[in-house]
Structure 1
Amino acid sequence: MSSEVKSSFGGGNPWDHIQPWDEELLGKDVHDIALRHKWEMALSVAGGLPYIWRELARPISEIAYGLLELRAGDKVLLIGEGIAPAGWLEDMRNIVGPDGAVDEVEIIHDGRKAVLGRLPGRNGQTGCWRWDYADSKADEEYDVVAVLQATQHCDDWEEAARDLLRVMKPGRRIVLAESVLKGPAFDARINSDVHLRQWYDKLFQHVGVENIPYWSGEEVRDAFGDTVDSPQLLEWRGIEMFWGRKK
């Protein structure tokens, strides 16, 4: 197989190949594009993040708490999508206790609006924007910062890294973790089986791959540069993580 064929594997529209026996099973509604888009959306996103983080990737949440080195009395800045349903808010509040605090920044509505609306960020990718979440915060107001299921929606991580580290105390950790829908590892998994590829192509007709923002772990690490000690990356079954200790 030529490299040209390999690079263009998939990406078509399986709905264009509906057959009479599909109509017999599913009815004429299977041709209704608006109805299909509704169910594509339901299957691709509805309930997905809580299921991933409460069940499939529960160990990664536990690892994130450990990497953050959360302590009783800590004050945490938590930025993410589906923060409460994923269990992060309750878990962290239980760890830091009554003398601590977890300030949450829920971005799921902004994220969906940006992706579905094809809103461009300053980096040229759609679905991301300038983060101003630290603008009103005082220097070293927080012990730690956690960015859980939100990494891809920032349009300038070099800028955001410095903003978020500014509000953290020295010597503490920042942790980013995301279940990604793009990138070399994700593409390899989708392309490893023709069934997975056709399901993916079918489910994401309403949102093209070009409209899904993506920062690789390496790009995030490079954006943080020398602002943290011992920057580390981890990839596990579609979860990409970054962490480092503020100098």
Structure 2
Amino acid sequence: MTPKEVVLNAVAAIFTNFDPEAAEQLLAPGYIQHNPAVPTGAAPIVGFIPGLKESGIEVTTHRVLAEGDLVVLHNTYTNAQAFGAEALVGFDVFRVEDRKVVEHWDNLEAVTEPNPSGHTQTDGAVEIVDLNKTEANKELVVDFVNTILRDGKGDQITDFISTETYTQHNSQIADGLDGLGAALTAWAEQGITMKYDETHLVVAEGNFVFTASEGTLAGTPTAFFDLFRVEDGKIVEHWDVISDIPSEMAHENGKF
């Protein structure tokens, strides 16, 4: 099985088929967990499955991309009270080794109403194309995150984001550079600052590039999971999931 197949089979075993035996075969015993609320190891995940089945939780996977041993899923969870809300959107990142899932990171936030441009947190393009441009697209996005989001060099933003088409899926931001600028101005007027400090994970496949970064939002330690779509050398679409990084976790692995 490819890493994508291993991950999709594991997610199906846990959230669709509710099959502890199948899950146990696909998760390494020493499975490293980074979700702050879930203990590390495979045993806790397998032990949660009967409760998940009883809860009626459902998962819908909108996008899948993979690079090497890392696989990213863009998911929606409904009937997700077990995770703290009726409906959640999230990015799940899995590392696969020897046909088993050995590590997991995620970021979750509540599903919201469409943003000012009418886009939801998960709609938009899904097709992976331009596989021959994977490395160039990855370099562009990493440079964008470092230059704009980390170093704050906003005057260079048109080097990275298309001035003609930029579709935004963040719940509070409208399409286009004007929409992004208006949101950032409104946040600044409210004293809300956003700062990326370090990017821990980058996964690229064709026209999609995913990054998982650590920083602060309004002074609070924050995890920023972003997905970008690139076309003709510019970023043309963006999805994200943002969540606080708690000071206490159910393990010692950290958020990243």
> Comparing both structures, which one devotes a greater share of its residues to strand?
2
Give 1 or 2 for the bigger CA radius of gyration. Answer: 1
TM class by shorter-chain length? under 0.3
TM-score by length of 1: 0.27
TM-score by length of 2: 0.27
